[in-house]
Amino acid sequence: MKLAESSFLLLFIKGANHFGPDCMSDQGNDSETQRNRNFPVFSVCLLIKTVSLTGGINESVSSLIITNTLSWFFCLFRGLFSKKHIEPKSPSQNVPGWKLFGKVAARESPPKDSRTIQQEYEARAGKAGSGGTSPTQPQHGRRKNLDFEPLSTTALILEDRPSNLPAKPVEEAQRHRQEYDEMVAEAKKRELKEAQRKRKEMKERFKQEDSIANAMVVWNHDILPNWDNMRNTRRVRELWWQGLPPNVRGKVWSLAIGNELNITPELYDIFLSRAKERWRSFSETGSEADDGASLADRESSLDLIKLDISRTFPPLFIFQKGGPYHDLLHSVLGAYTCYRPDVGYVQGMSFIAAVLILNLEEADAFIAFANLLNKPCQLAFFRVDHDLMLKYFAAFEVFFEENLPRLFNHFQISNLTPDLYLIDWIFTLYSKSLPLDVACRVWDVFCRDGEEFLFRTGLGILRLYEDVLLQMDFIHSAQFLTRLPEDIDSDRLFACIVAMPMLNGNKKWSQVSSSKHKKTGK
């Protein structure tokens, strides 16, 4: 019995060694894998045979069978979940390409732009034409393999249809070629026109920059050092009309406006301190102290100034709260309300002060601002002197009728009076109604010619848009004049201003204006 048990045990071990070792490797062939799969069947058969002969299994045999069986299961699961080795594909197989109606292998060459495609097509068309075959005629028999990437509609026009579709008829191909040629010709015209426009703009800009640079030298070296002697010369007046260079504009404005009020920077600091004290009192009590101030003074409340500052040149975002010039503008306006309580603050002043702040230092801006508002015309408007304002409107209508009779009659029929559009223009000196660069050029000549140029500019605007205004009724005309187009060209506007001579017969503006004022005793 011991001999039989030993024989069967030896046979079991041999079978296990025969079936088991190959499963530990992933490189086994198919026949070996099949034998590995049959290992549990063989183990069971040996087990049954051993039990029948020996009448039982001792501990050594049992542990050996269990150990080999578990080893086989480990190998089996390892084979099932092991990683498969994938052969790398070539780049042409990994990345698919595209044609118009199907998927093809991607080209290794970089994509071509429309100009390159056009040149290649023209070259092929030239070769085909020399060979006696029209490039637009479809070739019968074998068709061209269209493995291309259409980059634009140009590429679709230049290429034939895919091989799986019927070929184009000759007439259709010729029509497509003609349409393509027309498209290319039109595109070239647009490109040429755009290039010419850009070259013209660049040339004008360079010319303007050179003119400004030359004018700056003349103003700094010749005119400003000899201001009193040269300000009224013909040469200076012509340069003045063309516009002041930005870096001398503030200086010229200050000299032209003057300082008849004899305001000093120290006086500005005094009134600014008063304004700050007043604002502090306002923030604590909720209202300004009533010390017998007039109605105009009470209108210069903190709320009114803050409200108007927020609406001053909003596209620039420099005068609104948090902007770099907000506090500066607030200081100038607040100091002026303390300096001239009889005038106080009137809506529209913020635009004038803002333009001055952009070109002058703080104290100089306040001095120019106070002296500018002290001029007769500005004082009449900002003090809301209705009688004087009406006389200015009447004088304006005299020259309006003289220079633009058709538009004058049209406004008379529509009952469109000058006060409906002139008030806004005069209150802000056109800084709100015109683009800032155009308004600054208007200010240049206004500082030279005085109030006359303000009304002459109004006539120039009416002349510029005369044809448009003649087609409008009362409402649309009033809306148009209070909100002028934003693309006003300064050269065109000043050409219209030149065409508006301020002459009524032999009378100039000053004479007509004085005669209107004498009738009212003012």
Q: Which of 463, 461, 466, 517 is nearest to 484 (CA)?
A: 461
| C-alpha–C-alpha distance, residues 465 and 462, integer Å | 5
Q: On the CB side of 88, how many CA atoms lie within 13 Å of its CA?
A: 2
Q: On the CB side of 363, how many CA atoms lie within 13 Å of its CA?
A: 9
Confidence at residue 280, expressed as pLDDT on a 0 to 100 scale: 82
Confidence at residue 306, expressed as pLDDT on a 0 to 100 scale: 83
Give me the amino acid identity at 485: P
Name the token pair of 408.
């004058």
| C-alpha–C-alpha distance, residues 162 and 37, integer Å | 54
- What is the DSSP-derived secondary structure letter of residue 258? -
| C-alpha–C-alpha distance, residues 267 and 275, integer Å | 13
What residues form DSSP beta bridges with 104?
Answer: 97
| C-alpha–C-alpha distance, residues 113 and 154, integer Å | 10
At 97, give phi and psi (nearest 5°): -105, 180
CB contact at 8 A, 21 and 28: no
Q: Which of 388, 356, 384 is nearest to 372 (CA)?
A: 356
Cα 235–Cα 241–Cα 245 angle in degrees, nearest 5: 90
The dihedral formed by the CA atoms of 117, 122, 125 and 127, expressed in degrees to the nearest 10: -110
Confidence at residue 292, expressed as pLDDT on a 0 to 100 scale: 45
Cα 216–Cα 325–Cα 453 angle in degrees, nearest 5: 50
Confidence at residue 67, expressed as pLDDT on a 0 to 100 scale: 58
What residues form DSSP beta bridges with 507?
Answer: 504
The dihedral formed by the CA atoms of 420, 421, 423 and 429, expressed in degrees to the nearest 10: 180
The per-residue pLDDT string of the chain (522 residues; one tens digit each, 9 = 90 and over) reads 444 544 444 444 445 444 444 444 444 444 444 444 454 545 545 554 554 455 555 555 555 555 555 555 555 545 544 444 444 444 444 444 444 444 444 444 555 555 666 677 667 666 555 544 444 444 444 444 444 444 444 444 556 677 788 888 888 888 888 888 899 899 999 999 999 999 998 998 898 888 888 999 999 999 999 999 999 999 999 999 999 999 999 999 999 999 999 999 999 999 999 988 888 877 666 554 444 444 444 444 667 888 889 889 988 889 988 899 999 999 999 999 999 988 889 888 999 999 999 999 999 999 999 999 999 999 999 999 999 999 999 999 999 999 999 999 999 999 999 999 999 999 999 999 999 999 999 999 999 999 999 999 999 999 999 999 999 999 999 999 999 998 899 999 999 999 999 988 888 898 888 887 666 555
Q: On the CB side of 197, how many CA atoms lie within 13 Å of its CA?
A: 6
Q: On the CB side of 337, how many CA atoms lie within 13 Å of its CA?
A: 31
- The β-bridge relationship of strands 503-504 and 96-99 is unpaired
- What is the DSSP-derived secondary structure letter of residue 24? G
pTM above 0.75, yes or no: no
CB contact at 8 A, 304 and 337: no
Burial 73-84 (b: 16+ CB within 10 A, else e): eebbeebeeeee
Confidence at residue 124, expressed as pLDDT on a 0 to 100 scale: 66
| C-alpha–C-alpha distance, residues 374 and 368, integer Å | 10
Give me the amino acid identity at 173: A
Name the token pair of 88.
């790398």
- What is the DSSP-derived secondary structure letter of residue 219? I
